[in-house]
Amino acid sequence: MNKLNNGKNCNIFFLNFLILLMFISLFSCQSKETVVVYTSLDQIYSEPILKEFEKKTGITVKAVYDTETAKTVGLVNKIIAEKDNPQCDVFWNNEFLRTIVLKEKGILTPYNSPSASDIPKEFRDTEGYWTGFAARTRVIIYNTELVDSSDAPQSIFDLVDSKWKGEVGIANPLFGTTSSHVAALYLAFGKTKARDYLLKLKANKTRVFDGNAVVKNMVGDGEVKVGLTDSDDANIGLEQKKPIAIVFPDQDSLGTFFIPNTVSLIKNCPHPDAGMKLIDYLLSSEVEEKLSKSLSKQIPLRKGLEFPDIVPENLVYMEIDYQECAALIESTAVEVKEIFLK
């Protein structure tokens, strides 16, 4: 009789134990936070930061990365297509123009992160729809085995000189930072002068490649002597021991085009609380320092943080109104197609 009771008691204990495990498992699944981020910053730079956020917070990050060829544009189009049923919470863009386009289309929602209080106001949307951090620049690179430093172009306008005919490479001006750069030139100089510059680039047989990293490779391999690319790609070329040197252009006039990252919260996103936590982390001084010390050598926007070693201490950068610049992105794309693709 005692053996039967003992067996029965064991079975009841085992059943209760299983039920307890089920409740614990269910509770764990329900309490586990998740955040979905779309990012156009190269995975080699963004993934370690997202992994560190996971480690610090326990929040699972599901990241969607963009491709080199269609930088930013691909993810922006995806976000627009998902407007009525958002799939991501946070958009971490490696530039700013198309983030502002999303704002204008009513796809973003305001969030003023406490982490951004010491980021200069010129890099923050006045209504809180986006915030900038950690910037790259547009730079000229040249092959040191083919071009003497004394002869290297010092301005983007030097690239239309006939001595560089067929020897200059740029990334596709319909995408990524090259398209942003074009819009900034239209804002700075007006349509007539900016269009004339693009026409001269075309007439000078400037070669168009599928991305800034490709431009870096073409210059490093001697396929072209000079290229216009991003500072992070240029630094990778240096790390790869390619025979290239970097020029931060127009330091005595226009200034170098400055490209901050931007981060924003998607309207009606599925995980807003986790999204805000991720934004707080991305806008921290810790992340700016990590990006500054990474291969991307990005420039902190906060005062008091150390500049990367490849960047001049007194860097002069273009002062532009980002909102006005973004308003030109569609019209300049039409111009680019007409000039480069006809």
**pLDDT, mean of residues 290-312:** 93
Same domain, 73 and 199: no
Question: Given a cut of 60, is residue 27 above it in pLDDT?
Answer: no
Same domain, 267 and 130: yes
- At a CB cut-off of 8 Å and minimum separation 6, what does 199 contact? 339
208 three-state secondary structure: strand
pTM, full prediction: 0.82
For residue 214, the one-letter residue type is V
Q: What is the CATH number of the domain that holds 237?
A: 3.40.190.10
Same domain, 276 and 176: no
pLDDT given at position 11: 57
* Alpha-carbon gap, residue 105 to 61, rounded angstroms: 26
Same domain, 183 and 300: no
* Alpha-carbon gap, residue 16 to 57, rounded angstroms: 32
Number of structural domains in the chain = 2
pLDDT given at position 229: 97
SS3 content of the chain, % helix, strand, coil (to 5): 45, 20, 35
- Domain membership of residue 63 (yes or no) is yes
- Domain membership of residue 19 (yes or no) is no
- Domain membership of residue 3 (yes or no) is no
Phi and psi for 141 in degrees, rounded to 5? -120, 155
Same domain, 248 and 268: no
Question: Given a cut of 60, is residue 133 above it in pLDDT?
Answer: yes
Residue found under tokens 């001269």: 200
Same domain, 169 and 98: no
Average pLDDT, the chain: 90
Same domain, 124 and 82: yes
| DSSP state at residue 155 | S
Same domain, 140 and 220: yes
- Domain membership of residue 23 (yes or no) is no
The whole domain housing 112 covers 31-134+259-314
- Domain membership of residue 173 (yes or no) is yes
Q: Report the share of the chain in percent with pLDDT over 90.
A: 80
pLDDT given at position 22: 58
Same domain, 39 and 129: yes
pLDDT given at position 74: 83
pLDDT in tens, 45-91: 999 999 999 999 999 999 999 865 555 678 999 999 999 999 999 99
- Domain membership of residue 18 (yes or no) is no
Question: Given a cut of 80, is residue 199 above it in pLDDT?
Answer: yes
pLDDT given at position 70: 52
Same domain, 145 and 250: yes
Same domain, 63 and 175: no
Same domain, 117 and 40: yes
- Domain membership of residue 25 (yes or no) is no
pLDDT given at position 176: 83
pLDDT given at position 73: 75
- Domain membership of residue 9 (yes or no) is no
* Alpha-carbon gap, residue 53 to 47, rounded angstroms: 10
Residue found under tokens 């500049």: 307
